């Protein structure tokens, strides 16, 4: 079995396999309908979720397994009555997978090192690897390839989605440009790693602070108000990020992607969200098939 915590741990080839498997599952869904008979996934989320929670639960059900949503508010863990290590050991005795959305990535690592079952990162403050696999699937579906394409990301560079996209793109040879304010740069470790991965794949990682329109295949953004950000920071952040908003002009003739949830009128205009170049709902749809691909990968 394998944990799925960060794309840092996967080779480019493994990432491509996950993407291709997701596409295959989408095409031949029935072939996978019995793959998880008698398998149970426990899911717990410290933050809200629509796509990740529902897609993983449906993925388990459609493959004849089951998913159990565990409300942390009623857990000894949240009440401070039990350690995360002991929690992981107990869950391992009942279930076959643990999917967790937590604040601190280190908490995930603790879960993984104390589990005898695969732990899947459903988003931590630093990484969102499940999203990036679904995104690559969508890009491959739209362009028929990955290597050699260019993706331009505008907005909060210091985020889970940005970090995992940097890993994903650099490992499969997609050029990635990040346009973000100085105060919201990706973490240094992610910058260094992805530059190294990109070199190995003849692609580029470029980080700039001033937003500008470039010739690109894909324009991508994420919310300026991630789940873990204090709502009181909204006004301050809107002022900083304002010029990174994706509008028709910045989009040019690229396709538009967003991990969702989106704050319409902030990081992206309604016109772009609902326009012909927007592939956001195909992107959300593919979270289901990439979830299946990830679950099966963990079992190997």
Residues in contact with ligand CP by the rule CB under 6 A = 49-53, 123, 131, 259-261
Whole-number minimum distance, CB 261 to ligand CP, in Å?
A: 6
In this complex, which beta carbon is closest to ligand NVA, that of residue 23 or of residue 262?
262
Q: Taking the CA of residue 251 as centre, how many other CA atoms within 13 Å lie in the half-sphere pointing to its CB?
A: 25
Residue 280 partner contact from ligand NVA, ligand CP, none using kind-dependent CB cut-offs of 5 to 8 Å: none
- What is the C-alpha separation between 109 and 116, in angstroms, rounded? 13
- Identify which range of 18-26, 53-61, 104-112, 222-230 contacts ligand NVA by CB under 6 A: 222-230
Give the chain's length: 300
User: What residues pair up with 154 in beta bridges, in sequence order?
Assistant: 179, 221
In this complex, which beta carbon is closest to ligand CP, that of residue 51 or of residue 163?
51
Q: Does 157 bind ligand NVA (CB under 6 A)?
A: no
Residue 222 partner contact from ligand NVA, ligand CP, none using kind-dependent CB cut-offs of 5 to 8 Å: ligand NVA
Instruction: Indicate which single residue of 168, 222, 251, 289 sits in contact with ligand NVA (rule: CB under 6 A).
Output: 222
- Identify which range of 3-11, 89-97, 155-163, 167-175 contacts ligand NVA by CB under 6 A: 155-163
Interaxial angle between packed helices 129-143 and 160-172, expressed in degrees from 0 to 180 and rounded to the nearest 10: 50
Cα-only R_g, the chain = 19
Residue 159 partner contact from ligand CP, ligand NVA, none using kind-dependent CB cut-offs of 5 to 8 Å: ligand NVA
Whole-number minimum distance, CB 195 to ligand CP, in Å?
A: 26
Whether cis (ω within 30° of 0) applies to the bond prior to 261 is: yes
String marking each residue 75-114 x if it binds ligand NVA according to CB under 6 A: ----------------------------------------
CA distances from 268 to 196, 221, 229 (A): 31, 8, 19
Q: Does 262 bind ligand NVA (CB under 6 A)?
A: no
Q: Are 178 and 206 in contact (CB under 8 A)?
A: yes
Exposure letters 82-112 (e unless 16+ CB within 10 A, then b): eebeebbeebbeebbbbbbbbeebebbbbbb
Residue nearest to ligand CP as judged by C-beta position? 52
- What is the C-alpha separation between 32 and 28, in angstroms, rounded? 8
Whole-number minimum distance, CB 91 to ligand CP, in Å?
A: 21
Whole-number minimum distance, CB 138 to ligand CP, in Å?
A: 12
Number of residues that bind ligand NVA (CB under 6 A): 9
In this complex, which beta carbon is closest to ligand CP, that of residue 151 or of residue 259?
259
In sequence order, what DSSP letters do the residues of 11-58 get, joined into one string? -HHHHHHHHHHHHHHHHTGGGGTTTTTT-EEEEEESS--SHHHHHHHH
Using DSSP's 3-state secondary structure scheme, residue 271 falls into: helix
Q: Are 127 and 259 in contact (CB under 8 A)?
A: no
Q: By CB under 6 A, what part of segment 118-147 binds ligand NVA?
A: 123
* Residues lying near ligand NVA in the complex (CB under 6 A): 123, 159-161, 222-223, 226-227, 259
């Amino acid at each position: 079995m394998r944990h799925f915590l960060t794309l840092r741990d996967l080779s480019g080839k493994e990432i491509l396999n996950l993407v291709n498997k997701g596409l295959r599952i989408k095409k031949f869904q029935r072939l996978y309908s019995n793959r998880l008979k008698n398998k149970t996934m426990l899911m717990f989320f410290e933050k809200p979720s629509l796509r990740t929670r529902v897609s993983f639960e449906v993925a388990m059900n459609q493959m004849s397994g089951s998913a159990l949503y565990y409300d942390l508010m009623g857990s000894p863990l949240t009440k401070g009555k039990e350690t995360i290590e002991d929690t992981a050991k107990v869950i391992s005795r009942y279930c076959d997978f643990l999917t967790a959305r937590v604040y601190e990535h280190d908490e995930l690592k603790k879960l993984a090192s104390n589990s005898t079952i695969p732990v899947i990162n459903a988003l931590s403050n630093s990484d969102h690897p499940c999203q990036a696999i679904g995104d690559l699937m969508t890009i491959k579906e739209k362009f028929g390839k990955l290597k050699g394409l260019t993706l331009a990301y505008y907005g909060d560079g210091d985020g889970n989605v940005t970090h995992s996209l940097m890993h994903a793109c650099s490992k499969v040879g997609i050029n990635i440009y990040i346009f973000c304010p100085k105060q919201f740069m990706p973490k240094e470790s992610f910058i260094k790693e992805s530059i190294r991965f990109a070199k190995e794949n003849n692609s580029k990682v470029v980080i700039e602070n001033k937003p500008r329109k470039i010739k690109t295949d894909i324009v991508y953004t994420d919310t300026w108000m991630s789940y873990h950000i204090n709502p009181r920071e909204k006004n301050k952040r809107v002022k900083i990020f304002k010029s990174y908003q994706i509008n028709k002009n910045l989009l040019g003739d690229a396709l538009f992607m967003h991990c969702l949830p989106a704050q319409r009128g902030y990081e992206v205009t309604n016109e772009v969200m609902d326009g012909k170049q927007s592939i956001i709902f195909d992107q959300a749809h593919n979270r289901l098939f990439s979830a299946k691909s990830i679950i099966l990968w963990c079992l190997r």
